[in-house]
Amino acid sequence: MTIDGRTRTCGLIGNPVEHTLSPVIHNTLAERLGHNMVYVPFLVEEGRVSDAVKGAYALNLQGMNVTIPYKSEVIDSLKDIDTLAENIGAVNTLVRTEGGYKGYNTDMEGLYRAMDSEGIRIEGEDIILLGAGGAARAVAYLCASKGAGKVYLLNRTLQKARTVAEEVNRTTGAEVVIPMTLDEYTRLPERQFLAIQGTSVGLYPHVEDVVIEDRAFYQRIHTGFDLIYSPWETKFMRLVRENGGAAFNGLKMLLYQGIIAYELWNGVKVSEEDAMAVYEKMKAHFV
Protein backbone atom coordinates (compact mmCIF):
# COMPACT_ATOMS: atom_id res chain seq x y z
CA MET A 1 0.00 0.00 0.00
CA THR A 2 1.26 3.45 -0.95
CA ILE A 3 0.12 6.29 1.29
CA ASP A 4 0.05 9.70 -0.40
CA GLY A 5 -1.84 12.97 -0.35
CA ARG A 6 -4.99 11.34 -1.74
CA THR A 7 -5.18 8.52 0.82
CA ARG A 8 -8.49 8.50 2.69
CA THR A 9 -8.59 7.41 6.33
CA CYS A 10 -11.18 5.33 8.14
CA GLY A 11 -10.88 3.97 11.63
CA LEU A 12 -12.30 2.54 14.80
CA ILE A 13 -13.14 4.35 18.04
CA GLY A 14 -13.59 2.43 21.28
CA ASN A 15 -11.93 1.44 24.53
CA PRO A 16 -10.09 -0.90 24.35
CA VAL A 17 -9.10 -1.22 20.68
CA GLU A 18 -5.70 -2.89 20.92
CA HIS A 19 -6.90 -6.38 19.99
CA THR A 20 -9.30 -5.46 17.18
CA LEU A 21 -9.25 -7.42 13.91
CA SER A 22 -11.02 -4.63 12.01
CA PRO A 23 -7.80 -3.34 10.39
CA VAL A 24 -7.33 -6.80 8.85
CA ILE A 25 -10.78 -6.53 7.25
CA HIS A 26 -10.56 -3.03 5.84
CA ASN A 27 -6.91 -2.82 4.84
CA THR A 28 -7.15 -6.20 3.09
CA LEU A 29 -10.26 -5.08 1.20
CA ALA A 30 -8.63 -1.77 0.23
CA GLU A 31 -5.62 -3.65 -1.14
CA ARG A 32 -7.71 -6.23 -3.02
CA LEU A 33 -10.13 -3.65 -4.47
CA GLY A 34 -7.49 -1.03 -5.27
CA HIS A 35 -8.86 1.71 -3.03
CA ASN A 36 -6.51 4.38 -1.72
CA MET A 37 -7.69 3.99 1.87
CA VAL A 38 -6.11 3.10 5.20
CA TYR A 39 -7.86 1.96 8.38
CA VAL A 40 -6.50 2.46 11.90
CA PRO A 41 -7.82 2.02 15.47
CA PHE A 42 -8.21 5.04 17.78
CA LEU A 43 -8.39 4.63 21.54
CA VAL A 44 -10.93 7.12 22.93
CA GLU A 45 -10.93 7.85 26.65
CA GLU A 46 -14.14 7.92 28.64
CA GLY A 47 -16.02 11.18 28.20
CA ARG A 48 -14.26 12.09 24.93
CA VAL A 49 -16.58 10.52 22.34
CA SER A 50 -18.04 13.83 21.17
CA ASP A 51 -14.53 15.27 20.83
CA ALA A 52 -13.46 12.19 18.85
CA VAL A 53 -16.35 12.48 16.38
CA LYS A 54 -15.83 16.22 15.87
CA GLY A 55 -12.09 15.68 15.45
CA ALA A 56 -12.58 12.88 12.94
CA TYR A 57 -14.86 15.08 10.85
CA ALA A 58 -12.47 18.04 11.07
CA LEU A 59 -9.64 15.77 9.90
CA ASN A 60 -11.71 14.66 6.88
CA LEU A 61 -11.98 11.01 7.92
CA GLN A 62 -14.17 9.15 5.45
CA GLY A 63 -15.85 6.97 8.05
CA MET A 64 -15.56 5.34 11.44
CA ASN A 65 -16.53 2.15 13.21
CA VAL A 66 -17.64 2.36 16.82
CA THR A 67 -17.12 -0.44 19.33
CA ILE A 68 -17.73 -0.94 23.04
CA PRO A 69 -18.49 0.96 25.16
CA TYR A 70 -19.59 3.79 22.86
CA LYS A 71 -22.23 2.36 20.49
CA SER A 72 -25.09 4.16 22.22
CA GLU A 73 -23.22 7.19 23.55
CA VAL A 74 -22.03 8.18 20.06
CA ILE A 75 -25.61 8.77 18.86
CA ASP A 76 -25.75 12.24 20.45
CA SER A 77 -22.79 13.33 18.29
CA LEU A 78 -24.34 12.42 14.92
CA LYS A 79 -25.97 14.61 12.27
CA ASP A 80 -28.31 11.80 11.22
CA ILE A 81 -29.09 8.17 12.08
CA ASP A 82 -30.42 5.26 10.05
CA THR A 83 -33.82 3.90 11.11
CA LEU A 84 -32.47 0.44 11.97
CA ALA A 85 -29.74 1.87 14.20
CA GLU A 86 -32.28 4.15 15.86
CA ASN A 87 -34.62 1.22 16.58
CA ILE A 88 -31.79 -0.89 17.98
CA GLY A 89 -30.42 2.03 19.97
CA ALA A 90 -26.83 1.37 18.92
CA VAL A 91 -24.51 2.61 16.16
CA ASN A 92 -21.35 0.86 14.99
CA THR A 93 -20.64 2.69 11.71
CA LEU A 94 -20.33 6.39 10.88
CA VAL A 95 -20.56 7.54 7.27
CA ARG A 96 -19.38 11.03 6.31
CA THR A 97 -22.13 13.31 4.98
CA GLU A 98 -22.45 17.05 4.45
CA GLY A 99 -22.13 18.68 7.88
CA GLY A 100 -21.50 15.57 9.97
CA TYR A 101 -21.70 11.78 10.20
CA LYS A 102 -24.71 9.54 9.70
CA GLY A 103 -24.89 6.54 12.02
CA TYR A 104 -25.68 2.97 10.96
CA ASN A 105 -25.78 -0.41 12.65
CA THR A 106 -24.17 -3.10 10.48
CA ASP A 107 -23.84 -5.62 13.33
CA MET A 108 -27.26 -7.15 12.85
CA GLU A 109 -27.13 -7.41 9.07
CA GLY A 110 -23.63 -8.77 9.56
CA LEU A 111 -25.01 -11.48 11.85
CA TYR A 112 -27.79 -12.23 9.39
CA ARG A 113 -25.32 -12.62 6.50
CA ALA A 114 -23.00 -14.72 8.67
CA MET A 115 -25.82 -17.08 9.62
CA ASP A 116 -27.06 -17.22 6.03
CA SER A 117 -23.56 -18.18 4.83
CA GLU A 118 -23.69 -21.18 7.19
CA GLY A 119 -27.17 -22.19 6.01
CA ILE A 120 -28.86 -21.01 9.24
CA ARG A 121 -32.37 -19.60 8.87
CA ILE A 122 -34.19 -17.24 11.24
CA GLU A 123 -37.52 -17.09 9.41
CA GLY A 124 -40.11 -19.27 11.15
CA GLU A 125 -37.53 -20.63 13.60
CA ASP A 126 -38.06 -20.90 17.36
CA ILE A 127 -34.98 -19.37 18.97
CA ILE A 128 -33.36 -19.38 22.40
CA LEU A 129 -31.46 -16.14 23.03
CA LEU A 130 -29.11 -16.04 26.01
CA GLY A 131 -28.61 -12.61 27.57
CA ALA A 132 -30.39 -9.26 27.63
CA GLY A 133 -27.49 -6.81 27.23
CA GLY A 134 -26.88 -4.51 24.27
CA ALA A 135 -25.80 -7.26 21.87
CA ALA A 136 -28.67 -9.55 22.83
CA ARG A 137 -31.20 -6.72 22.49
CA ALA A 138 -30.02 -6.14 18.92
CA VAL A 139 -30.21 -9.88 18.17
CA ALA A 140 -33.76 -10.00 19.56
CA TYR A 141 -34.70 -7.12 17.27
CA LEU A 142 -33.11 -8.90 14.28
CA CYS A 143 -34.94 -12.17 15.00
CA ALA A 144 -38.30 -10.45 15.47
CA SER A 145 -37.93 -8.32 12.34
CA LYS A 146 -36.80 -11.28 10.20
CA GLY A 147 -39.83 -13.40 11.01
CA ALA A 148 -38.74 -15.72 13.82
CA GLY A 149 -41.51 -17.85 15.31
CA LYS A 150 -40.75 -17.25 18.98
CA VAL A 151 -37.66 -15.85 20.71
CA TYR A 152 -37.24 -17.18 24.25
CA LEU A 153 -35.06 -14.54 25.90
CA LEU A 154 -33.28 -16.14 28.87
CA ASN A 155 -31.47 -13.82 31.26
CA ARG A 156 -30.19 -13.88 34.84
CA THR A 157 -32.57 -11.11 35.89
CA LEU A 158 -36.15 -11.34 34.65
CA GLN A 159 -36.80 -7.59 34.77
CA LYS A 160 -34.05 -6.84 32.26
CA ALA A 161 -35.37 -9.58 29.97
CA ARG A 162 -38.87 -8.11 30.28
CA THR A 163 -37.61 -4.63 29.40
CA VAL A 164 -35.88 -5.88 26.24
CA ALA A 165 -38.86 -8.02 25.24
CA GLU A 166 -41.29 -5.12 25.65
CA GLU A 167 -39.08 -2.74 23.65
CA VAL A 168 -38.50 -5.18 20.79
CA ASN A 169 -42.11 -6.36 20.60
CA ARG A 170 -43.35 -2.77 20.59
CA THR A 171 -40.84 -1.63 17.96
CA THR A 172 -41.46 -4.55 15.60
CA GLY A 173 -45.20 -4.73 16.23
CA ALA A 174 -45.06 -8.47 16.92
CA GLU A 175 -45.38 -10.36 20.21
CA VAL A 176 -42.42 -12.60 19.43
CA VAL A 177 -39.96 -12.18 22.32
CA ILE A 178 -40.79 -14.05 25.52
CA PRO A 179 -38.77 -13.10 28.65
CA MET A 180 -37.61 -15.86 31.01
CA THR A 181 -34.98 -16.38 33.71
CA LEU A 182 -32.04 -18.67 32.97
CA ASP A 183 -33.28 -21.42 35.26
CA GLU A 184 -36.64 -21.49 33.45
CA TYR A 185 -35.09 -23.29 30.46
CA THR A 186 -36.75 -26.49 31.72
CA ARG A 187 -40.10 -24.87 30.84
CA LEU A 188 -39.24 -24.45 27.16
CA PRO A 189 -41.52 -26.27 24.71
CA GLU A 190 -40.49 -29.82 23.79
CA ARG A 191 -38.71 -29.17 20.51
CA GLN A 192 -35.30 -28.42 19.01
CA PHE A 193 -34.10 -24.81 18.88
CA LEU A 194 -31.65 -22.50 17.23
CA ALA A 195 -29.75 -20.96 20.19
CA ILE A 196 -27.81 -17.68 20.06
CA GLN A 197 -25.33 -16.96 22.85
CA GLY A 198 -25.42 -13.17 23.27
CA THR A 199 -23.51 -12.65 26.54
CA SER A 200 -19.80 -12.08 27.24
CA VAL A 201 -19.64 -15.32 29.27
CA GLY A 202 -16.91 -17.55 27.86
CA LEU A 203 -14.88 -14.67 26.46
CA TYR A 204 -11.11 -15.11 26.68
CA PRO A 205 -9.52 -15.64 29.22
CA HIS A 206 -12.59 -17.12 31.00
CA VAL A 207 -12.87 -19.88 28.43
CA GLU A 208 -14.40 -22.51 30.75
CA ASP A 209 -17.36 -20.33 31.74
CA VAL A 210 -20.82 -20.91 30.29
CA VAL A 211 -24.24 -19.42 31.07
CA ILE A 212 -25.98 -22.81 31.52
CA GLU A 213 -24.06 -25.94 32.50
CA ASP A 214 -26.81 -28.59 32.28
CA ARG A 215 -26.19 -30.92 29.34
CA ALA A 216 -29.93 -31.55 29.07
CA PHE A 217 -30.26 -27.94 27.89
CA TYR A 218 -27.85 -28.53 25.01
CA GLN A 219 -29.71 -31.63 23.89
CA ARG A 220 -32.52 -29.24 22.91
CA ILE A 221 -30.29 -27.26 20.50
CA HIS A 222 -29.93 -28.23 16.83
CA THR A 223 -27.71 -25.22 16.05
CA GLY A 224 -25.77 -22.93 18.38
CA PHE A 225 -24.33 -19.57 17.35
CA ASP A 226 -22.01 -17.78 19.78
CA LEU A 227 -21.35 -14.08 19.13
CA ILE A 228 -17.91 -14.57 20.73
CA TYR A 229 -15.00 -15.39 18.41
CA SER A 230 -12.15 -15.58 20.92
CA PRO A 231 -11.60 -18.35 21.88
CA TRP A 232 -12.24 -20.06 18.54
CA GLU A 233 -14.43 -22.65 20.26
CA THR A 234 -16.28 -21.52 23.39
CA LYS A 235 -17.56 -23.93 26.01
CA PHE A 236 -21.09 -23.14 24.80
CA MET A 237 -20.12 -24.30 21.31
CA ARG A 238 -18.40 -27.40 22.64
CA LEU A 239 -21.42 -28.43 24.70
CA VAL A 240 -23.72 -27.96 21.68
CA ARG A 241 -21.47 -30.18 19.55
CA GLU A 242 -21.04 -32.82 22.24
CA ASN A 243 -24.82 -33.16 22.39
CA GLY A 244 -25.33 -33.57 18.66
CA GLY A 245 -25.81 -30.00 17.44
CA ALA A 246 -23.91 -27.80 14.99
CA ALA A 247 -22.07 -24.78 16.46
CA PHE A 248 -20.54 -21.60 15.04
CA ASN A 249 -18.60 -18.67 16.48
CA GLY A 250 -18.93 -14.95 15.81
CA LEU A 251 -15.97 -14.38 13.49
CA LYS A 252 -18.10 -14.28 10.34
CA MET A 253 -20.42 -11.79 12.04
CA LEU A 254 -17.37 -9.56 12.61
CA LEU A 255 -16.35 -10.10 8.97
CA TYR A 256 -19.70 -9.18 7.44
CA GLN A 257 -20.43 -6.20 9.70
CA GLY A 258 -17.06 -4.84 8.56
CA ILE A 259 -17.78 -5.58 4.91
CA ILE A 260 -21.11 -3.75 5.08
CA ALA A 261 -19.37 -0.74 6.64
CA TYR A 262 -16.72 -0.84 3.89
CA GLU A 263 -19.47 -0.91 1.26
CA LEU A 264 -21.16 2.12 2.85
CA TRP A 265 -17.92 4.12 2.91
CA ASN A 266 -16.83 3.30 -0.63
CA GLY A 267 -20.08 2.80 -2.55
CA VAL A 268 -19.12 -0.69 -3.70
CA LYS A 269 -20.34 -4.27 -3.40
CA VAL A 270 -17.76 -6.70 -1.99
CA SER A 271 -17.78 -10.09 -3.70
CA GLU A 272 -18.03 -13.33 -1.74
CA GLU A 273 -14.61 -14.27 -3.12
CA ASP A 274 -13.07 -11.17 -1.54
CA ALA A 275 -15.05 -11.74 1.66
CA MET A 276 -13.68 -15.28 2.02
CA ALA A 277 -10.13 -14.10 1.32
CA VAL A 278 -10.47 -11.66 4.22
CA TYR A 279 -12.03 -14.37 6.40
CA GLU A 280 -9.06 -16.67 5.88
CA LYS A 281 -6.69 -13.90 6.99
CA MET A 282 -8.81 -13.32 10.10
CA LYS A 283 -9.04 -17.02 10.88
CA ALA A 284 -5.23 -17.32 10.75
CA HIS A 285 -5.13 -15.39 14.04
CA PHE A 286 -6.87 -18.31 15.77
CA VAL A 287 -6.22 -21.61 13.96
Q: Which residues are catalytic?
A: 71
**Is the dihedral angle over the CA atoms 231, 21, 103, 78 positive or is it negative?**
positive
Residue 96 phi/psi, 5° resolution? -65, 130
Q: How far apart are CA 107 and CA 142, in angstroms?
A: 10
With a CB cutoff of 8 Å and minimum separation 6, the contacts of 113 are 252, 256, 259, 260
Q: How far apart are CA 266 and CA 271, in angstroms?
A: 14
What is the b/e burial string over 57-79, where b = at least 16 CB atoms within 10 angstroms of the residue's CB? beeebbbbbbbeebbebbbebbe
Positive or negative, the Cα torsion across 222, 228, 229, 232?
negative
